[in-house]
Amino acid sequence: MKKYEHYTDIPGTYLFDKNACARGYHLNMFCMSLMKEENRRRFLANDAAYLEEYPLTDSQRHAVLDRNWLRMIQEGGNIYYVSKLGATCGLSFEEMAAAMTGMTKENYRKMMLSGGRSVEGNRSKIEQLELAGKGSH
Amino acid sequence: MKKYEHYTDIPGTYLFDKNACARGYHLNMFCMSLMKEENRRRFLANDAAYLEEYPLTDSQRHAVLDRNWLRMIQEGGNIYYVSKLGATCGLSFEEMAAAMTGMTKENYRKMMLSGGRSVEGNRSKIEQLELAGKGSH
Amino acid sequence: MAQIVAGIGCSHVPAIGVALDLGKTQDEYWKDVFKGFERTKELIAEIKPDLIIEIYNDHGTAFSLKSIPTFSLGVAAEFKPADEGWGPRPVPVVKGDPDFAWYLAESLILNEFDMTIMNEIEVDHGLTVPLSLLFGQPKEWPCPVIPICVNVVTYPSPTGKRCFALGRAIRKAVQEYKKDLRVVVLGTGGMSHQIHGERCGLINRSWDESFLDRLSSDPQGLTEIPLVEYVRETGAEGIEMVMWLIMRGALDEDVEEAYRFYHVPASNTAVGNIVLTNRSQTKVTT
Amino acid sequence: MAQIVAGIGCSHVPAIGVALDLGKTQDEYWKDVFKGFERTKELIAEIKPDLIIEIYNDHGTAFSLKSIPTFSLGVAAEFKPADEGWGPRPVPVVKGDPDFAWYLAESLILNEFDMTIMNEIEVDHGLTVPLSLLFGQPKEWPCPVIPICVNVVTYPSPTGKRCFALGRAIRKAVQEYKKDLRVVVLGTGGMSHQIHGERCGLINRSWDESFLDRLSSDPQGLTEIPLVEYVRETGAEGIEMVMWLIMRGALDEDVEEAYRFYHVPASNTAVGNIVLTNRSQTKVTT
Ligand SMILES: [Fe+3]
Ligand SMILES: [Fe+3]
C-alpha cells in the first residue's frame, strides 16, 4: 500500500468503518434510545440499571458510566450516536470534542478561535513516526 | 405517448406505483402487523376493533371486513402485504388469486394446470377496446 | 483469489416451500417440480460452493413501506427466516459472512452502486425457497449466503441494464477478493406470474423460454427489455426476472448452459431453473 | 418546464441552530457568522425558489445502524424536526412535495441511481440549520423541500464522482419536469471539521478555500479527490463536503459565484457558504 494512503494511518481518528460498526453496534443503539425524553429520564435516574437492557461489553459499559467520550469512540461508538448521550448529559459537541482531546473547555475554545488545530503534523501516523525518528537518532 | 407503452394500459393489473403506495399506505401497514402471532389472534377475535387502530378509508375497511381481495388491491393494497392477511385467514396465494379473478378455486387451478391464462388478448386495454370496436361496428 | 464458478436462476414460489415443508413432494401436483430440480441438486453438490451470493426480493416482509431500498445487502452473521403470516418456515437459520459481505458492500459503493447496508434483516420465502430447492432439508445450510435484496415490489424496480451492471460489479469484487473462495451467484424469482388483479394466472411460456435461451445467446439484448414489457408479457410479478440479470452479469460473456428446467404451474407461477457456467472455466477443469 | 436557478453550499453546524433558537445571534461569538449569511438571505429572497432540493446527511437520527442507505429521498408530505437529545428544534415542520419527489425518485432510479425511497423520515439539524440560515425564523418555510439524504456516517460514503453524477441526474430530471418551477439545489455540510478522537478541532482553511475556488473553476477536478483525502486534510467529518458536489453537478459547467462566505469557528467547525448561478441564466435575466 502506498504511504499515507489508508485512513487507518490518520492520527487521533477512528473512522466509523465496518469494524467499528460491528464492535459498536449495541453501544450506538443504546445511544439512539436516548432520543426519547422518557428514556433520558430513566437513564439519568439510574444509568447502570438502564444499561442492563443493552448487551454492551464491560469496557463499553464503563466508558458510558464514566462519561469517557474518547473511550466510547474507541469502543466503536460513532460520534453522532454518542452525541445523543452527550445531549442527555447536557454537553454540546464542542464540550465532547474538548473532552476527547484532553483539553479544558476554555483551552479548546481558544484553539478554535485562533483558527483550529493545524493539519501540519497531524496528517499521518507514519509521517509522525518518521519525524520522531529523525529527532531521536 | 406511444400505444401500449404505459403500464396503466395493461388490463386487470394494478401496478404498485406511487399512487397505490400513497393510497394504500396504512392498509399495507395494517397487513404487515399480522406478521405477529399475537396480532393475528387479536385480529381474528375481533377484526373490526383491530382495524380501528389503523387510519383506513371506509372503502378499505369494508374491503378487509368483507375479505374482498380485489377491492383491497384496487384501494392501494399490495399483494405481498395483503398476503399477510390472506395467511391470517388461512388462504394461499393461489386461493387469493382465484378470488380476485372471480373464479372458483377448482376452475382457477384447472386453468393453471392447463398452462395458465394466455397473454393473447390480455396485453392492452387499448387493444381490447379496438377489438371490441371492430366486433360491434 | 475468489472466483464465480456458476450462476443459477431459480424461481422462489412460496407454495414450493410449503409443499416441501409439509412433505408433499411426491404428490401428483408437485412431483414433477421436485423431479425437475434433481439435476441441479447434483450439480450444486459437485460444485460445492464456499459461498452463495443470493439475489432475491423481499415480499413486504423485512421492509415496510417506510423505507424502500433499490438494492440492499445483508452484512449480518445470520438471517432468521421471517414469519410471513403462517409462522416462519421450518428451515435452518441462514448464516452470512460479515467479512465478505462488508468487503462486497465497500467495493460496490466505491464502484458507484448505491447500496443500502443491512445490519439486521429477516429473510422470507424469496431467499429460503431456492436454498431448499438446491439443498433439500439439511440441518444446516452447507455454506454462508450473502443476501442482495432488490426492490421489485414498488414501481420502479431497477432496470435490467442496471441489474446486469450490478452483476458485473459483483464479479469484479469477487475476483479481487483475497481468499480462495468458490462462489455461486443465485438469481431468484420469476418466471411468468401475476398474482393480483383480474389478470391473475397469466403465463407466457414462449416469452419465458426465449428469456432462458437468451441468457446464453444474447444477455446484452435482454438488458434492453423495458420494465413495462416484463409486466405486460409475463405478468405484473414477472418483473422479478430482472434479478436473473444480476446473476447473468456476474458471469463471463461466454457461458455454457449446464441444465435447464421449465414447468407450469406451481400455484400461480411458471417455475424456471437454469444452471450456467463460464465456458473458460469449464474448459480448464475438464 | 422546471429549471435549476441556483446552487447553494452551506454548512449545517448544529450549534448555529442552537444559537439562533436561543436568540444568541448578536453574541460576540456568533455575530460574524450570522452577518456572513445576510447577503445569501437577500439573494434567496430575490431568487424566490418554488422548491428546494436539499442534500444533507442524517446524523444517527432517522437512520439507526440497522439500515444504512447510500442515497435516500423523502417523498412524504411533511418532515418533522427530530429530537436529537435536546428535544426537537423549534422550527416549522418541513413540507415536502410528494408529486415532485416521486417523479424525481422514478427518474433517478430509471437513470441508474439506486435510491432508497423514504415514505416517513424525521429530519435533524443537517436539514433544518441551512433552512434557518437562508430564511431566518419564519412561521412557515417559504417553499417545499425535497430531502435527499447521503450516507457520510458509515465508511464508505459515495465517492465525489458518484455524487457529482447524481447532481447531473437531478438536473436532467428537473429540466424534464412539466411544471414551471424555479428550483434551488442546496448542498449542506462541511467545511473542515473533526468532532471525534484526539484530532478534534482540525481546520484546514487553505484546503477549504481551494475547494470553494474550484467549485467554479474546476468542478471535474474536485470529483477526483479520494475519500481519504477529505478525512486526512479536512477532518473526519469534513467528508460531508462530497454532498456539495451533488449540488455542483446539478448546475451547468459554466457558473458564476454570486457570493461566498468563510468563517472559523462555529463550535468545532469551519463555516462555509457559496451561492452559484448558471452563467447562461444570469445573462438571460440581467
Ligand atoms: Fe417473488
Ligand atoms: Fe453534519
Residue A1 forms contact with C (CB below 8 Å): no
Nearest-neighbour CA in chain D from C67: distance (Å):
5
Residue D57: pLDDT over 60:
yes
Alpha-helical runs (H) found in D121-241: 125-135, 160-175, 205-217, 219-222, 227-234
Taking the centre of ligand 2 as the mean of its atom positions, its distance from the CA of residue D59, in whole angstroms, is 7
CB contact under 8 A, D102 and B25: no
Q: How far apart are CA D106 and CA D97, in angstroms?
A: 14
Alpha-helical runs (H) found in chain A: 18-23, 25-33, 37-45, 47-51, 58-65, 69-74, 79-88, 93-101, 105-113, 125-136
Nearest-5° angle of CA C237, CA C240, CA C245? 155
Please tell me the predicted confidence (pLDDT) of residue C203: 98
User: Could you tell me the pTM of the whole model?
Assistant: 0.97
Report the SS3 class of residue D123: strand
Q: How far apart are CA C197 and CA B102, in angstroms?
A: 10
More confident residue, B135 or D232: D232
Which of A15, A18, A25, A78 would best serve as a mutation to test chain C binding (most C beta carbons within 10 A)?
A18
Q: Does C263 participate in catalysis according to the annotation?
A: no
What percent of chain C has a predicted confidence (pLDDT) above 90?
97
Q: What is the 3-state secondary structure (H, E, C) of chain C?
A: CCEEEEEEEECCCHHHHHHHHCCCCCCCCCHHHHHHCHHHHHHHHHHCCCEEEEEECCCCCCCCCCEEECEEEECCCEECECECCCCECCCCCEECCHHHHHHHHHHHHHCCCCCEEECCCCECHHHHHHHHHHHCCCCCCCCCEEEEEECCCCCCCCCHHHHHHHHHHHHHHHHHCCCCCEEEEEEECCCCECCCCCCCCECCHHHHHHHHHHHHHCHHHHCCCCHHHHHHHHCHHHHHHHHHHHHHHCCCCCEEEEEEEEEEEECCEEEEEEEEEEHHHHHHHC
Band (pLDDT 50/70/90 cuts) for residue B1 is very low
Domain count, chain C: 1
Q: How far apart are CA D71 and CA D118, in angstroms?
A: 10
CA distances from D45 to D48, D97, D277 (A): 5, 20, 15
Q: Does D125 participate in catalysis according to the annotation?
A: yes
- Diameter of chain D measured on Cα atoms: 52
Q: Which of D67, D114, D118 sits opposite C114 (nearest CB)?
A: D114
Residue C258: pLDDT over 60:
yes
Residue whose grid cell is 366486433: B135
Q: How far apart are CA D200 and CA A96, in angstroms?
A: 9
CB contact under 8 A, B22 and D106: no
Task: List the one residue out of C6, C7, C12 whose CA is nearest residue C241.
Answer: C12
Q: What is the H or E stretch that residue B28 is in?
A: helix B25-32
Task: List the one residue out of B68, B70, B60, B58 whose CA is nearest residue B30.
Answer: B60
Nine-digit cell string for B80: 405481498
Mean pLDDT score of chain C, rounded to an integer? 97
- Whether D271 and D229 have beta carbons less than 8 Å apart is answered as no
- Whether B13 and B34 have beta carbons less than 8 Å apart is answered as no
Residue A63 forms contact with D (CB below 8 Å): no
Residue D286: pLDDT over 90:
no
- Diameter of chain B measured on Cα atoms: 59
| Domain A3-131 part of CATH 1.10.287.3610 | no
Query: Nearest ligand, CA of residue D191?
Result: 2
- The residue ranges of DSSP E strands in chain B, in sequence order, are none
CB contact under 8 A, C197 and B14: yes
Q: A32: cis peptide before it, omega within 30°? A: no
Please tell me the predicted confidence (pLDDT) of residue C286: 40
Query: Nearest ligand, CA of residue D149?
Result: 2
Beta bridge partners of D275: D8, D259
| ipTM value | 0.96
Please tell me the predicted confidence (pLDDT) of residue B134: 77
Nine-digit cell string for C151: 426492490
Q: How far apart are CA C193 and CA C200, in angstroms?
A: 8
Amino acid B114 reads: S
Q: Which residue of A has its CA nearest to C106?
A: A18
- Whether A111 and A118 have beta carbons less than 8 Å apart is answered as no
Residue B135: pLDDT over 90:
no
- Whether B136 and C233 have beta carbons less than 8 Å apart is answered as no
The torsion angles phi and psi of C237, rounded to 5 degrees, stand at -90, -5
Please tell me the predicted confidence (pLDDT) of residue B4: 59
In a domain, D223, yes or no: yes
Q: How far apart are CA C12 and CA C7, in angstroms?
A: 16
Please tell me the predicted confidence (pLDDT) of residue D281: 81
In a domain, C286, yes or no: no
Amino acid D249 reads: G
CB contact under 8 A, D200 and A98: yes
Residue D141: pLDDT over 70:
yes
Query: Nearest ligand, CA of residue C13?
Result: 1
Taking the centre of ligand 2 as the mean of its atom positions, its distance from the CA of residue A108, in whole angstroms, is 20
Q: Which of B7, B35, B117 sits opposite C85 (nearest CB)?
A: B35
Residue A44 forms contact with C (CB below 8 Å): no
Taking the centre of ligand 1 as the mean of its atom positions, its distance from the CA of residue B50, in whole angstroms, is 29
Least confident of A3-17, B30-44, D144-158, D174-188: A3-17
Q: Are strands D269-278 and D255-266 parallel, antiparallel or unpaired?
A: antiparallel
Please tell me the predicted confidence (pLDDT) of residue C285: 47
Which of D11, D58, D232, D237 would best serve as a mutation to test chain A binding (most A beta carbons within 10 A)?
D232
- Whether C140 and C71 have beta carbons less than 8 Å apart is answered as no
pLDDT tens digits for range C138-167: 999 999 999 999 999 999 999 999 999 999
Q: How far apart are CA A127 and CA A131, in angstroms?
A: 6
Nearest-5° angle of CA D94, CA D96, CA D97? 160
Q: Which residues of chain B lie closer than 8 angstroms to D119, CB-CB?
A: 21, 25
Q: How far apart are CA D24 and CA B105, in angstroms?
A: 71
Q: Which of D106, D119, D162 sits opposite C66 (nearest CB)?
A: D119
Set D12, D59, D125, D263: catalytic member: D125
Please tell me the predicted confidence (pLDDT) of residue D251: 98
CB contact under 8 A, C65 and B11: no
Please tell me the predicted confidence (pLDDT) of residue D1: 87
Band (pLDDT 50/70/90 cuts) for residue C180 is very high
CB contact under 8 A, A21 and C106: no
B83, D108, D44, D255: CA torsion to nearest 10? 170
Task: List the one residue out of C147, C93, C125 whose CA is nearest residue C13.
Answer: C125
CB contact under 8 A, B13 and C65: no
Q: How far apart are CA B98 and CA B104, in angstroms?
A: 6
Please tell me the predicted confidence (pLDDT) of residue B59: 98
Residue B76 forms contact with C (CB below 8 Å): no
Query: Nearest ligand, CA of residue C242?
Result: 1
Residue whose grid cell is 448464516: C95
Please tell me the predicted confidence (pLDDT) of residue B38: 98
Residuewise pLDDT in 10s, chain A (137 residues) = 455 589 999 999 999 999 999 999 999 999 999 999 999 999 999 999 999 999 999 999 999 999 999 999 999 999 999 999 999 999 999 999 999 999 999 999 999 999 999 999 999 999 999 888 876 55
Residue B22 forms contact with D (CB below 8 Å): yes
CB contact under 8 A, C120 and D158: no
pLDDT tens digits for range C16-41: 999 999 999 999 999 999 999 999 99
Q: How far apart are CA C27 and CA A99, in angstroms?
A: 70
Taking the centre of ligand 1 as the mean of its atom positions, its distance from the CA of residue C12, in whole angstroms, is 6
Beta bridge partners of D278: D255
pLDDT tens digits for range D15-43: 999 999 999 999 999 999 999 999 999 99
For residues D177-183, give the mean pLDDT: 97
For residues C214-223, give the mean pLDDT: 98
- Whether A74 and A24 have beta carbons less than 8 Å apart is answered as no
Residue C284: pLDDT over 50:
no
For residues D183-203, give the mean pLDDT: 98
Nearest-neighbour CA in chain D from A108: distance (Å):
8
Please tell me the predicted confidence (pLDDT) of residue B116: 98
Taking the centre of ligand 1 as the mean of its atom positions, its distance from the CA of residue B121, in whole angstroms, is 25
A–B contact: 3+ Cβ pairs < 8 A: no
For residues B36-56, give the mean pLDDT: 98
CB contact under 8 A, A21 and C119: yes
Q: How many residues in chain B?
A: 137
Q: Which residues of chain D lie closer than 8 angstroms to C155, CB-CB?
A: 106
- Whether D249 and D167 have beta carbons less than 8 Å apart is answered as yes
Q: Which residue of A has its CA nearest to D227?
A: A7
Range of the domain at D244: 3-278
- Whether D202 and A117 have beta carbons less than 8 Å apart is answered as yes
CB contact under 8 A, A25 and C119: yes
Nearest-neighbour CA in chain D from A48: distance (Å):
19
Set C12, C193, C196, C263: catalytic member: C193
CA D240 from chain center: how many Å? Answer: 9
Nearest-neighbour CA in chain C from D140: distance (Å):
25
Please tell me the predicted confidence (pLDDT) of residue B131: 87
pLDDT tens digits for range C59-118: 999 999 999 999 999 999 999 999 999 999 999 999 999 999 999 999 999 999 999 999
Please tell me the predicted confidence (pLDDT) of residue C281: 81
Reading phi first (left if > 0) and then psi (alpha if -120 to 50, else beta), residue D189 is in left
Which of C109, C164, C225 would best serve as a mutation to test chain D binding (most D beta carbons within 10 A)?
C109
Q: Which residue of C has its CA nearest to B82?
A: C60
Tell me the residues surrounding ligand 1 (ion) with CB < 5 Å: C 126, 189
Residue C283: pLDDT over 80:
no
Residue A10 forms contact with D (CB below 8 Å): yes
- Whether C278 and C252 have beta carbons less than 8 Å apart is answered as yes
CATH number at residue C27: 3.40.830.10
Report the SS3 class of residue D259: strand
In a domain, C232, yes or no: yes
The edge-to-edge listing of strands for the beta sheet with D3-10 is C67-69, D116-118, D71-74, D145-150, D51-56, D182-188, D3-10, D269-278, D255-266
Task: List the one residue out of C4, C5, C8 whose CA is nearest residue C274.
Answer: C8
